[in-house]
Structure 1
Amino acid sequence: MVAGEASGDMYGADVARRLFRLFSGCRIYGLGGQRMREAGVELEGDISRIAVVGPFEVISYLGKLYRVFRRLAERIEREPPSAAVLIDFPDFNLRLAKRIKDAGAPIIYYISPQVWAWRQGRLSQIQRLVDKMLVIFPFEEQIYREAGIPVEFVGHPLVDMVCASKSKEEFCQDHQLDPRKPIVALLPGSRRKEVRYILPTLCKTVDLIVIQKPDTQFVLPMAPGLEKRLLENMIGARPITVVMDETYNAIRYSRAAIVASGTATLETALLGAPEVIVYRISRATWFLGKLLLKVRLFGIVNIILGEEVVPELFQNKMTPEEVSRTALALMDDVWLQSRIRGNYEKLRRQLGKGNVAERVAESVSELMGKHL
C-alpha cells in the first residue's frame, strides 16, 4: 500500500484496518505516514519527509524519493505482494506499478490521478499497468470506462470520516475560546513548503480582520507531520490558537474558514463552514501549471459543482487585503452563507453513500481471488 500525501495516508489507514479484519494474519507494507503506521502498515518510508508541492520543488527531494522507491522495489522483489493498493501520488506510483506488475501482483489504484485536469496521456500507461481503478468523484468513472480501463465509483472516503467529535461549548472550553464570539479557521496546508508559502499571508490577513472585528478568534488546526514550532515561529504574537487532532471540530464551529486548496477544502464543505480557497506556489510552478492544466476552476469543491460556489484566491490574487475582505463577507453576509451551504448539500449528494473503505477492501479481495 503506497500513499504519498497526508490525505492518502488517512484514506490508506482506513482501508488497511478493513483489510486486517478481512484477512486475519495478513501483513501490509509500503509508504505512508503516521496514520498508516498506527493502523499497522509496515512503512519503508515516511511521507512527512518527502511531501512536495510542485515539479520544481521536487528537485530538492529527488534523492529521498529515489531511496524510498529503491527500498520499496527491493522489498517487492524480495516479498512479492498478493495485491497492491496505490493511492494517488501518480509520478511515484505509476513507476512503482511497473515493478509490482513484474512481480505478478494485481494492482488496484485507489484515488485517480487527475487526468481530467492534465496529463491525459497517462491513461494509456494506466491501462497497461492497473487491474482496476477505484475513483472517488462521479465524473471520473466515464473517463476511465471510455479508455477501456476497469473502473468503479466507490464514493468519497471523507463522507464516512468528516464529523465533529465535541460540542461547540466543549471545544471552546478546551482551547480557552469564547463560544459567543466568532471563530475563523486557518488551514494553510499539510506540507512544510505549502505552509511557508501560505501562512505568512494568512497571518497578515488576521491583522486586517482584527482591525475590522476585534472580537474574532482564530484557530489553526495543525496537520499531521507538521511541527508546532514551525507554525508558532511564523504566527508570532498574533491571537491564533494552534490545535492538534481537532481539525473537524475547529472547522465545524467556525463562522468562516480560509483554506489552502486540497483535501481540506472538501472537508470544510462537508462540515458546512463557508470558505475561501487560497493557494500560492513558486512562480515557475504556477506558470507551468497554467500552461498544462485543462480546468477553468482550481478548487475541488468548485470543480465537482461546475461553478465557483466558494471564492478562489490563487497566487497574485492571494493578498492579505483580498483574503480578509472575502473572509469578512463570509462571516457577515447571511445570503452568501445560505447560498454556499445549499450548494454544499448538492456536493454531498454527489459524493456517494459512504462505506468507502469497505468497498475498497472488497475490491482488493475480489481481485486477489481472480489471481489465485
Structure 2
Amino acid sequence: MNDPTPLKIYFVAGERSGDLHGGNLIRALKSRFTEVHCRGFGGDYMRDAGMEVVVHYREMAFMGFAEVLANLSTISKKIKLCKKDILSYKPDAVVLIDYAGFNLRIAKFAKQNGIKVFWYISPKVWAWNQNRAIKLKANIDRMFVILPFEKEFFKKFNWTVDYVGNPVLDAVKMHQADQEFLTRNKIGSNKPLVALLPGSRKQELNMIIPLMAEVAKQNPSCQFAVATVDNLSTEFYGDLRSLPNVSFISGATYDLLHHAQAAIVTSGTATLETALFNVPQVVVYRTSAVSYLIAKNLIRVPYISLVNLIADREVVKEMIQQKANSKDVSAELNLILNDNQYREKMMQRYKEIRNVLDTGSASENTAELMLRYLQSTN
C-alpha cells in the first residue's frame, strides 16, 4: 500500500489472548505501512505495539452466561462508549478480535456507518450458535480465521473467509526461553514441575483454584507453579497460597511451560499453548450451575479444548464440572507424568496439530491481506 495518507484503524479486543494477538497484528501492519494510527479497546500488548488504549480489556472480561447477565449494565455502557469513540475517531477500518457478543454489535454499527469491518479470530459460532454466522456475514467485510476447520464451516453459509494460520503458534515460535527461570523462581529440579494454568478471569479462578489446591495437596512429590496474571492479587489464588509445594509465576507463562513436565489447564487458548510447548496436560473446567446448564443445551461440538477440536479426536482428557475432581485429576496427572507410552502418544498428536497449523505467520498474513483489501477499495 503506497499511499502516504495516514491509515487509521480502530481495534476492539476484550480478552488477554485478543490483546496479545492484536499487538502482534499491529506490529505487522506498522512494518508494512509507515503511517498506521491505532486506537481502541485492548490491553498492554496492544499499547506496547503503539495503540492508544481507550478501555482496558480487564474492565470487560466476563465469563459464562450467568456472569454476562449480571454485568449487562457495564457491558452496555462500554458498547455505547465504543460506538461514540469510533464515530469521533473516523477510522478507515474497524478490526474486531474474537469477543463475539460485544463485537457483533460493534460490527453492525460500523457497517451502518460506512466503515470497513474486518474480524480477526472468528467467534466460535460453530460451537454453540451456528446461525449467528449469517449475522456475521451480513456485517463483516472480511473474516480472518485461525482454525483450519473454520474455513469449511463458513462455506456452508456461502461465505469465503481467509484462513491465515494460527497466532498462538506464532507467539510460541517467537518465545525465547529464559534459561535462568528455574533458579530465579527458586524451583528445584529434584521433583517434576507441574504448571497450573487456571485462567485470567476472576470467575474462572473461583471455580478452579480449590480444585488445583486439592490436587497439589494430594501430590506432595510434585512441585506446582501457578501462572498468575498481573492485575489480580494473590488473594484470588486462595488455598494455593499456603501450600509448601506451590509457587507463583507472574508474566512468564511461556517460560513456565518451557520448563514444565506436565500441566493442569483450564480450557481455552492455554490448552493449545501447552500443546505447542509439548507439555502433557489434563484439561479441567468448572463454571456456575446456571452457565453449565445453558451451555450444555447450546454447545454443538464434542470437545471444549482447542487441542481436541483441531485434532477432531481426544488428544487430552477433558474433565468438566463434577468430573473435575481432585481424585480423577490426580490420577490423570500421574499418567501423563509417569506412563511413557501414554506421554509419547500425546506428543505425537501434538506434532500432528503443529503441522496442521504451521502455514506461516498469522499476523503477517493477516496484515498483508488487510492492507490489500483496503487498497482495493480506495
TM-score bucket (shorter structure)? over 0.9
Runs of 4+ more than 4 Å apart:
none
1:224 Cα deviation from its structure 2 partner: 4.7
| Partner residue of 2:263 out of 240, 257, 261 | 257
Residue 200 of structure 1 and its aligned partner are, at CA, apart by: 1.1
Asked if 2 retains the 8 angstrom alpha-carbon contact of 1:259 and 1:275, the reply is: yes
Aligned residue-pair number: 366
- The CA distance in 1 between the partners of 2:372 and 2:72, in whole Å, is 36
User: Is 1:349 aligned to 2:355, yes or no?
Assistant: yes
SS class of match (1:141): helix
Contact 1:80-1:103 at 8 Å conserved across structures: no
Structure 2 CA distance for aligned equivalents of residues 245 and 343 of structure 1 = 28
* 2:187 corresponds to: 177
Q: Is the 8 A contact 1:154 1:352 kept in 2?
A: no
Kindly report the root-mean-square deviation, in angstroms, between the aligned alpha carbons of the 2 structures.
Answer: 1.5
Aligned to 1:166: 177
Q: Which TM-score applies when normalising by structure 1?
A: 0.95
SS in 2 for 1:109: strand
> What aligned pairs does 1:18-167 form with structure 2 within 5 A after superposition?
18-163=28-173, 165-166=176-177
The one-letter code matched in structure 2 to 1:315 is Q
Pair 1:276 & 2:276 matched = no
| Alignment deviations for residues 105-135 of structure 1 (CA, whole Å, 9 cap, x no partner) | 2111111111221111111111111111111
SS at match of 2:129: coil
Q: Which amino acid is the alignment partner of residue 291 of structure 1? A: N
Pairs within 5 Å for 1:280-359: 280-359=286-365
Please point out which of 193, 196, 203 is paired with 2:213: 203
Distance in 1, Cα, partners of 2:178 & 2:230: 23
Residue 171 of structure 1 aligns to which amino acid in structure 2? F
1:272 partner SS? coil
Aligned to 1:297, the other structure's residue is in SS state coil
User: Which secondary structure does the structure 2 equivalent of 1:27 belong to?
Assistant: strand
* Residue 195 (structure 1) shift: 0.8
Question: CA offsets, 1:174-225, max 9 Å, x none?
Answer: 1111124210100011111111111111011100111xx2xx2111111354
Paired with 1:112 and 1:225, the residues of 2 have a C-alpha distance of: 26
Give identity over the alignment, percent: 34
Aligned partner of residue 241 in structure 1, secondary structure: strand
Indicate if the aligned counterparts of 2:267 and 2:305 stay in contact, CA closer than 8 A. yes
Question: For 2:22 and 2:84, how far apart are their aligned partners in 1?
Answer: 22
Looking at structure 2, the residues matched to 323 and 156 of structure 1 have their Cα atoms a distance apart, in angstroms, of 29
Deviation at 1:65, TM superposition (A): 1.5
Distance 2:86 2:178 in 1: 46
Q: Distance in 1 between matches of 2:310 and 2:296?
A: 20
C-alpha distance in 2 between matches for 1:228 and 1:370: 50
Paired residue type of 1:74: K
Partner of 1:236: 241
CA–CA separation in structure 2 for the residues paired with 1:123 and 1:224: 35
Report if aligned partners of 2:234, 2:241 keep a CA contact under 8 Å in 1: no
Distance in 1 (CA, whole Å) between partners of 2:210 and 2:326 is: 9
Gapped regions of structure 1 (runs ≥ 5): none
Q: Which amino acid aligns with 2:24?
A: D
1:303 is displaced (CA, Å) by: 1.1
Residue range with higher mean Cα deviation, 131-140 or 155-164 = 155-164
Contact 1:13 1:39 in 2 (8 A): yes
Using the TM superposition, give the Cα deviation of residue 226 of structure 1 relative to its aligned residue in structure 2, in angstroms.
Answer: 2.9
